[in-house]
Structure 1
Amino acid sequence: MFDTDALRLLDAVAATGSFTAAAARLNYTQSAVSRRIAALEARAGGPLFDRLARGVRLTPAGQALHHHARVVLNRLARAEEELAGIHGGHRGTLRVGAFATANVALVPGALRAFADRFPDVALTPVEGPSGGLLRRMREGELDVAVVSDYPAGLPYDEDVELTELVEEELLVALPRGHRLAGGAGGAGGEAVDLRELREETWIEAPSPGGTTMLAQACARAGFAPRATLRIAEWTGKFGYVAAGLGVTLVPALAAPAVPAGLVLRSLGEPAPRRTVSTALPRTPLPAARALVRLLAEAAGQ
Structure 2
Amino acid sequence: MFDIDALRLLVAVAGTGSFTKAAAGLDYTQSAVSRRIAALERAAGGPLFERLPRGVRLNPAGRALHRHAVDVLDRLSRAERELAVLRTGHGGLLHVGAFPTANISLVPTALRAFRQAWPAVEVVAVEGRSDTLTARLADGALDLAVVSDYPSGLPAAEGVTTTPLCGDELFVALPRGHRLAGADAVGLRELRDEAWLQDAYGDRPTVLADACARAGFTPRKIIRIAEWTGKFGYVAAGLGVALVPSLAAWAVPDGLVLVRLTDPGLRRTLHVALPATPLPAALALRGLLRDGGPGQ
Band of TM-score, shorter chain: 0.7 to 0.9
Query: What residue identity is the alignment partner of 1:51?
Result: L
In structure 2, relative to structure 1, the CA distance for the partners of 1:50 and 1:132 (3 Å cut) is closer
Instruction: Judge conservation of contact 1:198–1:224 (CA < 8 Å) in 2.
Output: no
Per the normalisation by structure 1, the TM-score is 0.76
Instruction: Judge conservation of contact 2:144–2:273 (CA < 8 Å) in 1.
Output: yes
Q: Secondary structure at the match of 1:125?
A: strand
Partner of 2:47: 46
Residue 169 of structure 1 deviates from its aligned partner by 0.4
In structure 2, relative to structure 1, the CA distance for the partners of 1:169 and 1:63 (3 Å cut) is same
Partner of 1:186: none
Partner of 1:176: 176
Residue 26 of structure 1 deviates from its aligned partner by 0.7
Partner of 2:7: 7
Query: What residue identity is the alignment partner of 2:194?
Result: T
Partner of 1:123: 124
Alignment equivalent of 2:234, drawn from 213, 230, 240: 240
Partner of 1:159: 159
In structure 2, list runs of 5 or more residues that go unmatched. Answer: none
Counterpart CA distance in 1 for 2:222 and 2:68 is 67
Residue 168 of structure 1 deviates from its aligned partner by 0.5
The alignment of Structure 1 onto Structure 2 pairs a total of residues equal to: 289
Instruction: Judge conservation of contact 2:104–2:251 (CA < 8 Å) in 1.
Output: yes
Counterpart CA distance in 1 for 2:40 and 2:189 is 86
In structure 2, relative to structure 1, the CA distance for the partners of 1:209 and 1:37 (3 Å cut) is closer
In structure 2, relative to structure 1, the CA distance for the partners of 1:274 and 1:38 (3 Å cut) is closer
**1:39-89 CA distance string (max 9 Å, x none):** 445555236144344xx2524434444333222221221222233334444
Instruction: Judge conservation of contact 1:169–1:271 (CA < 8 Å) in 2.
Output: no
Partner of 1:83: 83
Instruction: Judge conservation of contact 2:180–2:186 (CA < 8 Å) in 1.
Output: no
Query: What residue identity is the alignment partner of 2:185?
Result: V
Partner of 1:294: 288
Counterpart CA distance in 2 for 1:11 and 1:170 is 65
Counterpart CA distance in 1 for 2:237 and 2:267 is 26
In structure 1, list runs of 5 or more residues that go unmatched. Answer: 183-189
Residue 127 of structure 1 deviates from its aligned partner by 0.6
Alignment equivalent of 2:273, drawn from 279, 285, 288: 279
Residue 218 of structure 1 deviates from its aligned partner by 4.9
Per the normalisation by structure 2, the TM-score is 0.78
**1:133-184 CA distance string (max 9 Å, x none):** 44554455544332222234336666331100111001122223345545xx
In structure 2, relative to structure 1, the CA distance for the partners of 1:299 and 1:39 (3 Å cut) is same
Counterpart CA distance in 2 for 1:192 and 1:17 is 85
In structure 2, relative to structure 1, the CA distance for the partners of 1:225 and 1:25 (3 Å cut) is same
Instruction: Judge conservation of contact 2:19–2:30 (CA < 8 Å) in 1.
Output: yes
Within 5 A, what are the aligned runs for 1:90-169? 90-92=91-93, 94=95, 96-114=96-114, 117=118, 121=122, 123=124, 125-128=126-129, 130-138=130-138, 142-154=142-154, 159-169=159-169
Partner of 2:57: 58
Query: What residue identity is the alignment partner of 1:46?
Result: P
Counterpart CA distance in 2 for 1:212 and 1:38 is 67
Counterpart CA distance in 2 for 1:241 and 1:43 is 71
Query: What residue identity is the alignment partner of 1:205?
Result: Q
Query: What residue identity is the alignment partner of 1:100?
Result: P
Query: What residue identity is the alignment partner of 2:23?
Result: A
Counterpart CA distance in 1 for 2:274 and 2:21 is 50
Q: Secondary structure at the match of 2:248?
A: helix
Counterpart CA distance in 2 for 1:8 and 1:226 is 70
Query: What residue identity is the alignment partner of 2:271?
Result: S
Query: What residue identity is the alignment partner of 2:235?
Result: V
Counterpart CA distance in 2 for 1:59 and 1:160 is 50
Q: Secondary structure at the match of 2:173?
A: strand
Counterpart CA distance in 1 for 2:209 and 2:48 is 82
Query: What residue identity is the alignment partner of 1:224?
Result: F
1:191 partnered with 2:188: no
Superposed CA RMSD in Å reads: 3.5
Q: Secondary structure at the match of 1:266?
A: strand
Residue 106 of structure 1 deviates from its aligned partner by 2.4
